[in-house]
Structure 1
Amino acid sequence: MIKLTRLDGSEFVVNANLIEVVEANPDTVVSLITSKKFLVKETPEQITEQVIKHYKKTGGPRLVVYIDHSHQSEEHPAPTPFAANFK
């Protein structure tokens, strides 16, 4: 979780794993993968620094890959699904 500040000065925390895009237009807009958007005082660079700090503290985001087995054949078997931890 990272702490952000709305334009009215109120603070809130957001799950860093849900952030999809951070833009400056000129106010900073944080868009989540849930389609929710927030206008915040922090710059995109400040948010990026917070996210990196959060990932370093928590061991980074987890990437889980799921394989669609519907197209596998004897000639092209599906690989085993895996999870990777990026630090």
Structure 2
Amino acid sequence: MITITKLNGKTFQLNALLIEKIESFPDTTITLTNGRKYVIAESEERLKELILIFYQSINLLGRKEWEGVDNE
């Protein structure tokens, strides 16, 4: 889950695995796989960072601290 902020300043948790599309026009809009949309205060770049951190925390993309370590 990632914590993001609605335009009214309220924060909420979102399952990043359900994100289908991220757009900026000019506000950042998230479209989920079920078609639901959220307009958020975070920039598109910040949202990408949060998603990457979440994916790494659940070992979906590999752990960052393991980068460059050869398999034995």
- TM-score (structure 2 length as normaliser): 0.82
- TM-score (structure 1 length as normaliser): 0.69
Question: Matches of 1:13 and 1:31 in 2, distance apart?
Answer: 15
Q: Which residue pairs with 1:57 in the alignment? A: 57
Q: Which residue pairs with 2:3 in the alignment? A: 3
Higher relative contact order (CA 8 A, sep 6+): 2
Please give the per-residue CA displacement for 1:62-87, whole angstroms capped at 9, x wherever unaligned.
xxxxxxxxxxxxxxxxxxxxxxxx42
TM superposition shift of 1:14: 0.4
Q: CA RMSD in A?
A: 0.8
Q: Which residue pairs with 1:70 in the alignment? A: none
- Between the aligned residues of both structures, percent identity stands at 34
Q: Give structure 2 stretches of 5+ with no counterpart.
A: 63-72
